[in-house]
Amino acid sequence: MHENISKLVDYLHQETEYLRKVYDESVAFSFRPEIGGVESALERASLTKKLGFMSDLPDFDVGAVRHSLTGTPNTWQLTLSVEMPLFFWQPARGEIRETYANSQALTQEAAHLRNLISLEVEEAHKEHETAVNQIQLMEDEILAQAEEVNEMYLFSYQQGEIGGIELIEAQRTLSEARKAYADSLYDYGIAIASLEKSVGRALGEN
């Protein structure tokens, strides 16, 4: 059993390094729906600003007429007309300012959201690493020592050197150590779930 646990811990440490490299904040920025929502809103605001600016420009109309008279060279007459209401730019200024302010607010919201997600991803990685270290602590010290003491007390009991109470106490300590080890595995599962939530996708998902 101890050998199997050692293999598990080695694997978990390798997994920790892999997850750090592959599932970073850039993955979260690509898959978290909150980021997608803000970016879509920014695109809509930018389009609205462009459309509002173009719709408030004066209307230009260009025309061309060819004059052809017998015995004379053909001539062209070009006309340019501009429909420009008086003070046309004043309403546009207000709309453009409003759209610009909305874009600025969305940009700030996106930056704030990215910072929060970066912190959340980092915290999830730390939680995962802590869970792995706790499993290793259980293997190297608590569980290993409890198994060693139990074996020693069992041998002493078989040799008649100690009574049943001491052996029962050693077995109780081993049972508690194994339960604590199971709890550390559970905490590891919770840490994986937190990491998946922080990056917005299941680990190993293409």
Summarised one tens digit per residue, pLDDT across range 162-182 is 999 999 999 999 999 999 999
Q: What mean pLDDT comes out for the span 132-151?
A: 91
Among 38, 53, 45, 48, smallest CA distance to 103 is for 45
Banded pLDDT at 124 (limits 50, 70, 90): very high
pLDDT score for 43 = 81
Buried b (16+ CB within 10 A) or exposed e, 104-116: eebeeebeebbee
- Contact, 2 vs 147, CB < 8 A? yes
How many beta carbons lie within 10 A of that of residue 14, not counting itself? 10
Question: Would you give the DSSP letter of residue 44?
Answer: H
Instruction: Read off the pTM.
Output: 0.67
- Contact, 31 vs 22, CB < 8 A? no
Among 184, 185, 202, smallest CA distance to 193 is for 202
Q: What mean pLDDT comes out for the span 113-137?
A: 93
According to the per-residue pLDDT averaged within each range, which of 48-52, 90-94, 143-147, 201-205 is highest? 143-147
For 15, 112, 152, 173, 175, the CA distances from 182, given in Å and listed in that order, are 19, 38, 23, 14, 11
Question: Taking phi first (over 0 means left), then psi (-120 to 50 degrees means alpha), and beta for anything else, what does residue 103 get?
Answer: alpha
pLDDT score for 156 = 93
Angle formed at CA 72 by CA 69 and CA 77, multiple of 5 degrees? 65
- Contact, 176 vs 163, CB < 8 A? no
For the chain, domain boundaries: 2-58+89-199
Q: What mean pLDDT comes out for the span 13-20?
A: 85
- Contact, 148 vs 92, CB < 8 A? no
Angle formed at CA 200 by CA 194 and CA 205, multiple of 5 degrees? 95
Dihedral sign, CA of 100, 101, 106, 108?
A: positive
Banded pLDDT at 80 (limits 50, 70, 90): low
Structurally, at CATH architecture level, domain 2-58+89-199 sits in: Up-down Bundle (1.20)
Which residues are registered as beta bridge partners of 65? 77
Per-residue model confidence as pLDDT tens digits over 21-76: 888 888 888 888 888 888 888 787 777 666 655 555 555 565 555 656 566 666 66
Banded pLDDT at 108 (limits 50, 70, 90): confident
